[in-house]
């Protein structure tokens, strides 16, 4: 298409041969980018002058957080643990449920086309729902509290791990699967013994990675009443009690850092 509007440049070599060089798409990409930026600025009321004028406000809050209010710690401890528990439970359950769902979404093990594409569409729909929205809906159904948060994390994990898992399953070497079938196994058994061993290290690694992200994300779920430390964060910000907010963020950073270290350690060993 593009090459038709802007015909390729012809370069004649000294020996008479002609080489066609395709026109670079760079100019049109740049024009589009500038247009997008221009309209984005219009749409969002972006004003550099405001920013230059008032950026200090942001750091004003930051400096209020320092030093954090250390004796707020006892209040934080319980919700923080709750946040970790929520993410752990949601991640474990989500990853476990992701296995049968990914099985159903893999076109190389399930022969029913409709079932396979149905499951795939289901997974991508789940994945597009922002977790905070799922959490909010969950609070209407399961009431305020950690259960709603757990459900939201469960759904996100299911969608994320499920998608990565079925992609791996579909890329697996099918020879051993065939061999298992020739031994008299049914497809489910052949999956368990031929495909699962091939994908399981990656699966565990994905699940751990997802758990890492979930801890971080679970911290804001309390904001919509779905349990955990987000509730305190909401309160602290509402009351403009910035030293307490600073303490919460500090604890959060430490927790996330350690969980990342531990998970990274195990993920390195898996691959």
Partner 1 sequence: MIEFIHVEKIYSNKVKALQDVNVKIDKGEFVAVIGLSGAGKSTLIRCINRMHDITSGKLIVDGVEVNTLKGKQIRTFRKRIGMIFQSFNLVTRTSVLKNVLVSFVPDLPFWRKVTGIFSKEHKIEALTALDQVGILDKAYVRVDQLSGGQQQRVALARTLAQQPDIILADEPIASLDPVTAKQVMDDFQRINEELKISVIMNIHHVEMALQYAERIIGVRDGKIVFDGKTEAVTQEVLDYIYKGEREVQQAVEGEQAYV
Partner 2 sequence: MGTIERQLYASPNHKRYFTFITIILLLLFIWSFTAVNLQNVESSGWEIASTIIAGIFTPDLELLLTFTTQGVPYLLLETIAIAILGTVIGAILAVPLAFLSASNVVPSPIAWLTRLLLIFIRTVPALVYGLMFIRVTGQGPFAGVLTIALISIGMLAKLFVDAIEDLDTSILESMTSIGCTTFEKIRYGIIPQLFSMFLSIIIYRFDMNLREASVLGLVGAGGIGAPLIFAMSAYRWNEVGAILIGLVVLILVVELGSNRIRGKLVRG
Binding interface with partner 2 (CB under 8 A): 36-37, 39-47, 50-51, 54-55, 57-58, 60-62, 81-82, 84-86, 88-89, 92, 124-125, 128-130, 132-133, 136-137, 140-147, 150, 216-217, 219-220, 223-224, 227, 230, 233, 237, 245, 249, 252-253, 256-257
Work out what residue 192 binds among partner 1, partner 2, none; the CB cut-off runs from 5 to 8 Å by kind: partner 1
List b or e across 27-61, with b for residues whose CB sees 16 or more CB atoms inside 10 angstroms.
eeeeeeeeeeeeeeeeeeeeeeeeeeeeeeeeeee
Q: Which is nearer to partner 2, 89 or 174 (CB)?
A: 89
- Is the CB of 190 or the CB of 219 nearer to partner 1? 190
Vertex 200, ends 194 and 203: CA angle to 5°?
140
Helix 196-221 × helix 230-238 angle, to 10°: 30
**Whole-angstrom distance, CA of residue 134 vs CA of residue 149:** 9
Minimum distance from residue 20 beta carbon to partner 2 (Å): 18
Packing angle, helices 196-221 and 146-170, rounded to 10 = 150
**Which of partner 1, partner 2, none sits in contact with 133, Cβ below 5 to 8 A by type?**
partner 2
- What does the binding site for partner 1 look like in residue numbers (CB under 8 A)? 175-176, 178-186, 189, 192-194, 197-198, 201
Least separation in angstroms between residue 116's CB and partner 1 is: 18
Calculate ∠ Cα 97-98-99, nearest 5°: 90
Ranges of H-type helices in the chain = 2-5, 26-44, 48-65, 73-105, 113-128, 131-142, 146-170, 175-182, 187-190, 196-221, 230-238, 242-270
Comparing CB distances to partner 1, the nearer of 143 and 201 is 201
Could you say which of partner 1, partner 2, none residue 185 binds, taking C-beta under 5 to 8 angstroms by partner kind? partner 1
Beta carbon of residue 200, minimum distance to partner 1 (angstroms, whole number): 8
We find the least distance from the C-beta atom of residue 183 to partner 1, in angstroms, to be 5
Q: How far is the CB of 245 from partner 2 (least distance, A)?
A: 7
Residue 93, CA atoms < 13 Å, CB-side half-sphere: 14
Q: What is the DSSP letter of 7?
A: P
Which residue, 202 or 234, is less far from partner 1 as judged by CB?
Answer: 202
Nearer to partner 1, 107 or 234 (CB): 107
CB atoms < 10 A from the CB of 148, how many?
A: 25
Nearer to partner 1, 117 or 186 (CB): 186
């Amino acid at each position: 298409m593009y090459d038709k509007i802007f015909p390729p440049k012809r370069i004649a070599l000294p020996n008479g041969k002609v080489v066609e060089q395709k026109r670079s798409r760079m100019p049109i990409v740049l024009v589009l980018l500038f247009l997008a930026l221009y309209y984005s600025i219009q749409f969002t009321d972006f004003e550099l002058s405001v920013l230059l004028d008032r950026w200090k406000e942001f750091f004003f809050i930051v400096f209020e957080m320092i030093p954090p209010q250390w004796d707020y710690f006892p209040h934080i401890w319980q919700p923080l643990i709750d946040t970790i528990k929520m993410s752990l439970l949601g991640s474990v359950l989500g990853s476990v449920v992701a296995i049968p769902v990914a099985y159903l979404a893999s076109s190389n093990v399930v022969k029913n086309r409709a079932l396979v594409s149905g499951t795939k569409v289901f997974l991508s729909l789940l994945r597009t729902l922002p977790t905070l929205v799922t959490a909010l809906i969950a609070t209407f159904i399961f009431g305020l509290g950690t259960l709603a948060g757990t459900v939201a994390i469960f759904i996100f994990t299911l969608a994320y791990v499920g998608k990565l898992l079925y992609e791996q399953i579909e890329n697996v070497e099918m020879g051993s699967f065939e061999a298992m079938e020739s031994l008299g196994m049914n497809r489910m058994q052949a999956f368990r013994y031929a495909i699962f061993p091939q994908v399981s290290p990656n699966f565990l690694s994905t699940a751990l990675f997802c758990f890492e992200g979930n801890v971080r994300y679970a911290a804001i779920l309390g904001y919509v009443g779905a349990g955990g430390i987000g509730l305190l964060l909401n309160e602290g910000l509402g009351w403009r009690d910035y030293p307490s907010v600073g303490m919460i963020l500090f604890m959060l950073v430490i927790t996330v850092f350690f969980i990342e270290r531990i998970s990274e350690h195990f993920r390195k060993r898996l691959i």
